[in-house]
Structure 1
């Protein structure tokens, strides 16, 4: 049996998480600088395409009210005119105003897919190209207000959906799924994916042994016809590679995602100050004020995050009946003041990396309620989109019209498109849980494998 740790011994830790933007800021700076120079040069030659309709609609919205035009302008002006922001290409000196931002949006959403990046500064991933150009503006006081605005987020959703439909889910994005040095099938990229996926103590496997692909029939793209097809790739044999732990024991909860623990909090409140340092969980707001949220007041929240090189499908942590499943629209580039310029330590250089707790309350998210057998009872699972990565797809058999619907422990519930983000499990008040050692935030640099043992209920 796995080693268990009683819940009261937990401490909460925070991490720079996910690797959606590179650890070395110079890699990101070089990418943004090149994008800005390219767009500016094309603009001077009158070689930029007309703004796509979703960008035009965002521009119209901004200019429709004094408030939004003021916020959109001020969030670039409020980036401090000092090092490192003065010379940083993601600051206001390079991206000069919101019209310039919209030029960049237009090029990204019609031409660019997230790519593996190898430069003279090292290796990294530009998985959040929109986030990359907004890093400093979204950390300002005006940026907080602008990116929380519901109408702004409706327009951003249209932009991101268009990007997915017209680029990421089409062969226009195949150029990043190759063995070139900036390709996802390069030796360097595959090594990172294999390291992220292989389980400690087991024989290491290569990418083509781990995932469904076709390197023989399609030696260039390995059978992936788009960026999205690559990112929602399936295990070659999930039952062999990720067997369901304690499949027939209702006391055991398994990992819902291939992910690393971020936080574990007990006695969560109905309402709490999730936007402040510590990012306490506020159950009613996490669950979009669902009537069944009351079951989890005083209960437990476990949160884990998905890395850019991880598997991005969701699996049920328990056996039971799905009684509710819905996607809640939310924000895309909102971060709390604690990770912005008001922080004495300066802004999060890869926001919202350090705001994983915060985004569970405001970002786009898929919410499931599952009635499990005793002793677990009602459990809630939340799959949260982050920044550019905010498309949550619920499997059709769990659409609200099909519910209630039985679900097996470890059965696929849905997936993130264009990448992934973070996942929360909420347990009812009064349920006692013992957690495997790996569930403690900061214990291991490795993922907890999806469908592996996570916690044991003994109440």
Structure 2
């Protein structure tokens, strides 16, 4: 009964207009008074922020903050795939005949996640990594590889929560929520960076100006409030690191594994 009630409330709160209202408040100067309380509630490391709290004009500006230079080291090996975000890895493994198996008890198809893109064929037996960003985390998204951006796609959708409850109890959240997908061609293949919107997220924004060629670790986009990034690696193109991925807390620039030609 309680689970049904929570699910119903979440369904109602997943409407985009509710997220827009929340987003507009977070972008208003009236939200400034909540910055310190927000940082304290979520244990955010304010000493890592690019600017002092007093210099952020809105809650959204603080939430999408940059870090002080040099706080995240990007793994330099040419064949490494690095984490694009500070996050908890909530799913990782081989893609089996186009299906991502058991992400918090649910299966997803690559076809639905990528909105039936022709590029789906590249990932049918590849590898996936799901990275969840909590409100505590730094919310800028960086490139996991060096290479060329070959396609960008925006998919309109709902804004269900992507936390543990949402992934377990809401139906197929990752493929129903709003998504911004970046396909990057690197020296051994292609990688899809799928940015998934979440409840109370007003938008996912690309960093401007848009670039066609990007180096590993460059700023790609940012979330306005918490969400999830799904990395998809082509068939035969990725070997995960030896110390494992699932359940690990990672930082932007940290090595996740090695890329190789198929």
Q: Which residue of 2 aligns with 1:104?
A: none
Whichever of the two has the greater Rg, that structure is 1
Residue deviations 1:138-189, cap 9 Å, x none?
47xxx5xx78xxxxx7xx2233224323x110111112123xxxx1354xx4
TM-score by length of 1: 0.52
What is the CA deviation profile of residues 235-291 of structure 1, one whole-angstrom value per residue up to 9, with x for unaligned ones?
Answer: 011xx2112111xx33111111101111112133336788x9732230011001111
1:243 to 61, 69, 73: 73
Over 3 Å counting, the alpha-carbon distance change for 1:314 and 1:222 in structure 2 is same
The yes-or-no answer on 1:137 pairing with 2:8 is: yes
Instruction: Give the root-mean-square deviation of aligned CA atoms.
Output: 3.0
Residue of structure 2 aligned with 1:457, choices 231, 234, 259? 259
**Paired position in structure 2 for 1:118:** none
- Unpaired runs of at least 5, structure 1: 1-79, 92-134, 148-152, 195-206, 215-220, 336-347
Q: Please, what TM-score do these two structures have when normalized by structure 2? A: 0.87
Whether contact under 8 Å (2:79, 2:260) holds in the other structure is: yes
Whichever structure has more strand as a proportion of its residues is 2
Of Structure 1 and Structure 2, the greater helix share is in: 1
Distance in 1, Cα, partners of 2:209 & 2:242: 31
Residue 372 (structure 1) aligned with residue 180 (structure 2): no
Q: Report if aligned partners of 2:19, 2:199 keep a CA contact under 8 Å in 1.
A: no
CA contact (8 A) 1:269 1:281 kept: no
* 1:458 CA displacement: 4.0
Distance 2:101 2:90 in 1: 18
Residues 124-149 of structure 1: per-residue CA shift (max 9 Å, x gap): xxxxxxxxxxx34247xxx5xx78xx
Cross-structure match for 1:125: none
Could you say which structure has the greater relative contact order, defined with CA pairs below 8 angstroms and 6 or more residues apart? 2
2:100 and 2:75 mapped to 1: Cα distance? 34
Q: Does 1:416 align with 2:223?
A: yes
Q: CA deviation at 1:394?
A: 1.5
Compared with structure 1, are the counterparts of its residues 289 and 222 closer, same or farther at alpha carbon in structure 2 (3 Å cutoff)? same
In structure 1, what is the Cα distance between the partners aligned to 2:114 and 2:252? 23
Pairing partner for 2:203 from 391, 399, 410:
391
Gaps of 5+ in 2: none
* Secondary structure, counterpart of 1:160 in structure 2: helix
